[in-house]
Amino acid sequence: MNELVLKKTPGPEIGGPLVFVVLDGIGIGSQDERDGVYVSYTPNLDELLNEPLQARLKAHGPAVGLPTDDDMGNSEVGHNALGAGRIFSQGAKLVNEAIADKSLFSGTAWRQVEKHAAQGGTIHFIGLISDGNVHSHIHHLYALLDRCAEVGIKSLRIHGLLDGRDVGQKSALSYFEPLEKRLAELSSDGKDYRIGSGGGRMVTTMDRYNANWDVVENGWRAHVLGEGRRFISATEAISTYYEENPDITDQYMESFVIEEDGAPVGTIEDGDGVVFFNFRGDRAIELSRAFEENDFAEFDRKRIPEVFYAGMMQYDGDALIPKNFLVEPPAINRTIGEYLCATGIPSYAASETQKYGHVTYFWNGNKSGYIDESLEKYEEIPSDKVEFDKRPWMKADELTDSLIYALRSNKYGFHRINYPNGDMVGHTGVEAAVRIAVETVDMCLGRLIKEVQKTGGILVVTADHGNADCMWTEKEGKRTPMVAHTKNPVPFVIKDFGGENRFVLADIENGGLANIAATLITLLGFEPPADYEPSLVNRIDGDTKG
């Protein structure tokens, strides 16, 4: 017998579909004028939050596998926890451990980096320069630099991407100035350590889910070919862009190239070593493909240097992207998707492009593709290629249409979707846009409530982390847009249209996202795996009339 087949719980059949909705980036905030969720008109969410089956869940720090309570959550670790039902060491924590015990520097990939340097190659580090700890942490870069200096690597270049999304909107100089100073200090005894290129993360290199390959091409041209607007230093580039456009924010800053004597200082050439030091996968996969694929056709690379390329981690375990990596990713098995497929429960998953991978790849434990295509349907609604504050409604209505169509087909026992608006628009820091985003999602939620009610099913609503719930911070009377994720709790609500008194809240202290998988299995009428974080509800006998 397949050990992943779930055992039914005693009692009548639950009946009706289960619909699981992730309101990405919509946490429970301070409930004042800076809270974009609180100040928005959200009658449907307000009503749900008065349901008896509701709780506040942790979505950051150790609750999702991150090092400390100072670490904000993110969509990737959040959906890992949602789908896995257990807490795994994630991203930054894995890298911290590998640096602390020096296993990072004893692995095959790092030895190849040092080998290429010993043979005269330049070592290039590409990644996000901040301490946001969502895609990268600058402390990891400093550890890599220190190791390079320690072993006597002579030539090193950094291709630094500006954040302005997981940290302050215009905070780049606070990272690049000390970085340039540190590189200058390390450039002794014949060593030459410099920044070679850079640019804002949303226009240079860090595209995801094939949303806009122009972003990756911009990065390739700057990092590899040395094509772009030229400056004598990264700090000069950043300062110049600020002066020319006071409204510009770091994440949307154009690419730049550092030059000396009229030539770029950091082009990537045959024999070099290249490390993408971001630990999070979604925005690192596409550039990795550009370095590794022989039949690459997404844009004209013009020149393809023969290099040794490695990621901080393997960003896609199924597609093996990249082939070489410094730190092993978390091995996540026995996800809820695997259990549901083994039990024969058909599932539907959908989002628009910006979060499609979260309800598929991350939900399934960092694995691409279907678990069982005969039982699953994944649907991607193409995202608009515009700045999110320009169309804050995004594709929420189309996404709702797709879910309603799936519900009416009566094909699936379990449905999951992600509304990206609260997160993607929350990152812009534009208050009016944030409110429209939140209200758009609430309107769509109202449509879903009516549809699930018709089916006699169960609606479950939560979020993967906060964002829109804090639009700005204030210090000494000055407001600064808050564009990063928050560490606020997230809502968790169950609306059961299949009958009264079928479930009751369990006595769970410090519940988090990882508790949701067992809860969903319980709501489907099965016993959760013994090693899953416990269900937030217990099934009870009672009136099961609709």
d(CA 204, CA 214): 8
Token pair listed for 108: 């095959």
Q: Return the axis-axis angle of helices 173-186 and 138-150, rounded to nearest 10°.
A: 10
Q: How far is CA 206 from the centre of its chain?
A: 12
- Does the active-site annotation cover 30? no
Q: Among 74, 94, 185, 106, which Cα is nearest to 140's? A: 94
Distances (CA, A) of 515 to 111, 331, 343, 346: 40, 19, 20, 22
3-state secondary structure of 358: helix
* Residue ranges with strand state E in 214-344: 229-231, 256-260, 263-264, 273-276, 308-313, 325-327
Q: Taking a C-beta distance cutoff of 8 angstroms, is the pair 524, 18 a contact?
A: yes
**Cα first-last separation, the chain:** 35
Is the bond preceding 330 in cis, omega lying within 30 degrees of 0? no
Structure-block tokens of residue 116: 């290429």
The rounded distance, in Å, linking the Cα atoms of 100 and 67 is 13
Asked if 68 and 457 count as a contact pair (C-beta separation under 8 A), the reply is: no
Closest by CA to 11, choosing from 537, 500, 539, is 539
- By C-alpha distance, which of 34, 93, 33, 82 is closest to 57? 82
Rounded-to-integer distance, Cα 168 and Cα 245, Å? 17
Quick one: tokens of 367?
């694995």
Spatial separation of the C-alpha atoms in residues 322 and 444, rounded to whole Å: 38
* 3-state secondary structure at position 479: strand
Strands 256-260, 263-264: parallel, antiparallel or unpaired by DSSP? antiparallel
Is residue 270 helix, strand or coil?
coil
Of 75, 347, 351, 402, the active-site residue reads 75
Q: How far is Cα 485 from Cα 25, in angstroms, rounded to an integer? A: 7
Tokens representing residue 309 in the block: 């390329």
Tokens representing 47 are 């009503």
Catalytic positions = 75
